[in-house]
Amino acid sequence: MTTTSPLIDPFQRAISYLRVSVTDRCDFRCVYCMSETMTFLPKKELLTLEELDRLCSAFVRLGVEKLRITGGEPLVRRDIMTFFRAMTRHLDSGRLKELTLTTNGSQLARFAGELHDAGVRRINVSLDTLDDAKFAAITRWGRLAQVLDGIDAAQKAGLKVKINAVALKGFNETELFDLQSWCAAREMGLTFIEVMPMGDLGNENRLDQYWSLKDLRGRLAERFTLTDLAERTGGPARYVRLEETGQKIGFITPLTHNFCESCNRVRLTCTGELYMCLGQEDMADLRAPLRASDADGVLEQAIRAAIARKPKGHDFDYSRQSVAGQMTRHMSHTGG
Ligand code: SAM
Ligand code: SF4
């Protein structure tokens, strides 16, 4: 039997936002996200598109209003548009308020129109630099021109684009104002993300790459008047308005800002593991209950049991110069 009472965690937070990684694969190999020689999961481990539909639909029934599709690179998953089109019914019913995605932009030229047709209205595109050579260096396999074409196509299709840039010391520090003015000219939002201690540090030491957003914000304030905005998304983003341009700039500081008390989200991996917190190892396997029965009662029970374990917060901490609370998962696993 299924019930529709909403998902409320032990700290009285309503879970209204689900991020879903639909693949662990990617056509890029960003240095802070993947090693160049990643081994990916065997295809049989992945949830099928039908299973993803069943799971997402269960969450929507239980009160999830916002679905963000991510990866890996979501647009490299074969037939992913079938999944997006299937989710349109939840937008049409009014239960789902927003269907969106985070993408590296490489496949947008091909899919922007179809995404819009499926009801997607806003997307996040990850882009750390506007310099061809630096783009090739940071993504290892990416081509900037392809992403810029994708962004053009998205805007032409009527999608609102927000750019997400990882702030990297000694890498895009010098491009702060170029990125800001480029986004202003194209009427795109811009959010900076602090690099997180995910995955194996290996030869890329993320402490070396860490550029604090406090510092970045200080640099912006040298040129602009910054007004803090009250806007909250239930996540780690905080926003300011640049008074001179009217532009909104976001800061995602999972390491230096305590945002856990208003956390409204959970993350589903492409194998059906539900992570109740980005910064904790605890997860619940939803694939087994999903496959155990064609009826959704067992699945819903497993979802409720998982939400009942959502922790109060996470423990990332760079302050001791060694990375405490470091996670061994890659961002491409939980989808960032
Ligand atoms: N492939 C898509 C993309 O790049 O937008 C979606 C998945 S990607 C894992 C989601 C976001 O995580 C991207 O904006 C990426 O820059 C960010 N990311 C990956 N590794 C990160 C890290 N170690 N610290 C902070 N952000 C990271
Ligand atoms: Fe791929 Fe996105 Fe990770 Fe870059 S950040 S390697 S584009 S999943």
What confidence tens digit (pLDDT) does each residue in 38-56 have?
899 999 999 999 999 999 9
How far is the C-alpha of 245 from the C-alpha of 316, rounded, in Å?
A: 34
CA of 297 to the centre of ligand 1 (A): 34
What confidence tens digit (pLDDT) does each residue in 118-148 have?
999 999 999 999 999 999 999 999 999 999 9
* pLDDT value for 117: 98
CA of 133 to the centre of ligand 2 (A): 17
* pLDDT value for 311: 85
Ligand 2: residues whose CB is within 6 Å?
26, 28-30, 33-34, 71-73, 104, 126, 331-332
* Ligand 2 atom at minimal distance to the Cα of residue 71: 8
- 287-323 burial, b if ≥16 CB within 10 A, otherwise e? bebbeeeeebebbbebbeebbeebbeebebebeeeeb
CA of 128 to the centre of ligand 1 (A): 10
201: exposed, middle or buried (Cβ count in 10 Å: 0-12, 13-18, 19+): middle
Local structure of residue 119 (DSSP, 8 states): T
Task: Enter the pTM of the model.
Answer: 0.92
Structure token pair of residue 88: 């349109």
* Helix H or strand E encompassing 49: helix 49-61
What confidence tens digit (pLDDT) does each residue in 69-82 have?
999 999 999 999 99
Confidence of residue 274 (pLDDT cuts 50, 70, 90): very high
- The dotted CATH code for 17-334 is 3.20.20.70
* Ligand 2 atom at minimal distance to the Cα of residue 33: 3
Q: Between 235 and 192, where is the model more confident?
A: 192
Ligand nearest to the CA of 29: 2
How far is the C-alpha of 12 from the C-alpha of 4, rounded, in Å?
A: 17
* pLDDT value for 197: 67
Which stretch of 4-13, 125-134, 165-174, 282-291 has the lowest confidence by average pLDDT?
A: 4-13
Ligand nearest to the CA of 68: 1
